[in-house]
Structures are given as C-alpha cells and as structure tokens.
Amino acid sequence: MAKFVPVDPFDIVIFGGTGDLSKRKLLPALFHRWLDGQIPPNSTIVGSARSDLGDAGYRTLAREACEAASGKDWDAAEWAKFETIIHYTAIDATDPSADWAALSRQLETETARPRVFYLATSPHLYVDICRAIGKAGLACETARVVLEKPIGTDLESARAINNGVGEVFSERQVFRIDHYLGKETVQNLMVLRFANMLFEPLWSHNYIDHVQITVAENLGLEGRADYYDRSGALRDMVQNHLLQLLCLTAMEPPNDMGDDEIRTEKIKVLNALGEISPKQVKKQTVRGQYTAGMSGGKPAKGYLEELSSATGSNTETFVAVKAEVKNWRWAGVPFYLRTGKRMSSRHSDIVIQFKAAPHNIFGQGVDSVNRLVIRLQPDEAVRLFVQIKEPGPGGLRVKSLPLNLSYAESFTLRYPDAYERLLMDIVRGNLSLFMRREEVEAAWRWVDSLIESWETSSYEPEAYAAGTDGPLSAAMMLDRDGRSWWKEG
C-alpha cells in the first residue's frame, strides 16, 4: 500500500486567496494533505487579496470551503489544528504603493525552507505581482512561483509574461501548472508505455491507426462569460489541456524520469505538430457554438443567450481538430482532438485505436480492432478492448469486451487528487509535471497559426444544440477518413 511521505515545512502565499480557485481547489487540497500527515504543523498558509478579512475572517472562509469539499468526511477536530497555520494579509497587487511589510512578517524568516507564491489571479497580474515580490525582497533562493493557465492569450503575450516573471524568478523557480497533468491516469500513460513491453513495441504508425483525445463538458458558461468570450474553446482548452495530453501520448521515451528529460520530449512533440493551412482548415478543423437545447433532461439556453450580448459573438464553444505529429514514429497517424461545452455528457478520454487484423477470418460485421481507452474523468480507468467469443450455441459470435482497470474498484483508499499531488510536487521542487516556457510558447505558436488560418478563411462557428456531441461536421470529418468518434456502450 502506498504511504504518504511528509514534505518539509514550507510557506505558501495564495494571491487571489478569496477567489473561486482557492475555495474550490487549493484550500481543500491543502487540508486533505494535512489530514494524510503530509503537511508539518510548523508550515504557514497565507491568503492574500484586496478584501480586509483578517485571520479570523479568512479562516471562516477557508473552513466553509473545506467543509463543503469534505462532505461526510469532515473532521472538525483536525480542522481546529489546521486552521492555526492559516493567516491572511490584505494586499492590492495592482497598487504599486501597497505595503508588503505585513506579508513579510507572516512568512518564516528562515529562507532555507520552500516559499511558494501561488498566483490564483488573472494572468494579466502575473508580472506585476512577481515584480512586487522581488521589490519586497521576498524572492529568496528557495522561492517558487506558480502560474495558472492561461499563460497569455497568444504567443506574444505569453512571451511577455514569461519574460516579466523571468526578471524575478529563474526558470527552475517557475511552476506553470496544468491540473490535468496531476491526474493519476495521465501519469499512468508513461507507466503503461515505458514499463510494459506489451505496449511500447506497438506504439507507432506500424500498429496504431489513429488517436482520439476528447475533453467534453456538459456545462455552459457557469459565471465565466467575460473570460470565455475573449478566449473560446481553442485558447481555453486545446492550447493547454489537450496539447498536454497529446504530448504525453506521442512523446519519445525520456532517458530517465528527470523533469527536464520529460519536458524536453514533450517540446519535441509540439515542434513536430504540422501547421494547418487556410486551404485545409475547413477539412481538418471544426468550430462550433451551442444553441438552445436539452442538457441533463432540462432546457438549456444557447451561448448567445447566456452571454446576454446584443451584438452577438463568433466565439467557438466547440473545437475538433485533425492534427498530425510529423516525425518518424507517428507519420500518417491522425490525432483527433475534440473539446466543447454543453455536450451530451462530461467525460475526458484518450483512445488509442490499433489497426485491424490484416486478414479477417470471421466474416463481415466482426470488429477486429483493439482499443486502449484511458478515461480521465469522471471515473478514472484504463480499459483494453479485446475480441472474445460470445458463449452460446448457434454459431461463432465475436464480441469486443474490455479488460478493465478501474481506479475506484482497484484502489479503495482515497488518493490525492490532481491539485493535492501538484501542490506537494511544488513544495518538493519537482518540475516534471509542470511546463517549461518553451513548451508554453511552442503550443501558442501552433494555436496562433490555426487561429490565423480560421481568420484567413473566414471560418465562422457552426451551430449545435446543447446536449449533443457537437456540430455534424465533427462526425463528418472522421467519416471522410472511414472512422468515427469513440462512444462506449
């Protein structure tokens, strides 16, 4: 059974400490790591925002957030111990004259311990906050800064953020976080490939027909209208989550599990992504925007209704892309990427579809294709679909059934979620699950090229009804290749 190894005492300052990310993810994650004995009692957690809450007010906010996340497992006795390490300092990060002395007093004067600055704020504040941290003399050698996605809105703005943050923190002090990389099944990709001779010899164009990566959401804007309409599905999801999953699926074996070894191989994948020209963009991509429909058995508004915009919007809420990694291993293998809001269900999957048997001896209508399906949410699992004989008389019937590894069934103990794992890696200084600046910029370079092709070809989003799986064109894109989107059951 896995054992939780405590980290060394640390300080963490959460800028945007009263925001949604802090309440839903960061504070509950830290409390759960406390419950499992990973956080020493002489650590310090400091929330920071503009509101004048004080320690008592912030502890109340934190308790409500952690109790809601814990549900029936709430432990009031442990909370009473945990809240003693929680503090609050009011700082307006946009005010150059703000007094940072109070924050400095909250932190341990011994700078040998890790000092984490988590920027749970709008990305346009990243550089200003980092410069203020540097000016206040808080960026010691053991300091780390955590940047949430999105890092910029294009290549130019991403470079500006990276350059500005780099004025204060070295590259090894910068942790660019994508919570998808903290999921157990995502990390299991490398173990499946590189620790099992069953898969690695087959992991190329010689045996794989295509790869599908889907991140589907059944919710709409959920209070993110202003941000989302400036971003869209391509910038919000493809540039980070989906491209990260593609990198881990397609990367070459690293020399070892060192952080720079892994990240270097991921960058090679991004640099090998073929650009999609304006002539090909309508064949290799689909843009969609949801209209009114039914979601979860209830009426759902369309995007423009949720947006409440009198001028309309051509922001895409759905993207499908046929991408190609142009290298020796993957030449000719399409990677189909798909993400959207208000789809029929919430699920995230990576589907590796192997080539069919070279000669089918069982007759027409028999599926001789194997699939490795890695489900990231809502139920983490790995399923290898193989063909077996269906029992019973009356002839030979072949059926595709999965060899199933369900995390919920195989591992009965509660294990850390993505943010819990990543926060502990930040404290330890382990960069392997975080993005290097070249990685972020390479992803933006490819996305910017795709956006330019959309604009050049005047590609407007196609309508799809809420509660469906996107525009018909997304299904047709695969149908032209003699393929279809994977749907279990």
- List Cα–Cα distances, 183 to 190, 286, 369, 409, in angstroms: 12, 28, 28, 17
Task: In whole angstroms, give the CA distance from residue 160 to residue 332.
Answer: 36
Residue 216 pairs in a beta bridge with 340, 347
Catalytic residue among 179, 241, 347, 359: 241
Residue type, position 109, single letter: T
The length of the chain in residues reads: 489
Task: In whole angstroms, give the CA distance from residue 300 to residue 342.
Answer: 8
CB under 8 Å to 325, separation ≥6 — which residues? 246, 250, 269, 272, 273, 274, 333, 335
In the residue annotation, 241 being an active-site residue is answered as: yes
Token pair listed for 99: 């007094």
Task: In whole angstroms, give the CA distance from residue 33 to residue 70.
Answer: 12
What does the DSSP 8-state code read for residue 263?
H
Instruction: State the virtual CA torsion across 276, 216, 349, 288 in degrees, nearest 10.
Output: -20
DSSP letters for 372-421: EEEEEESS-EEEEEEEEEEPSSSS-EEEEEEEEEEHHHH--S----HHHH
Task: Catalogue the active-site residues.
Answer: 241
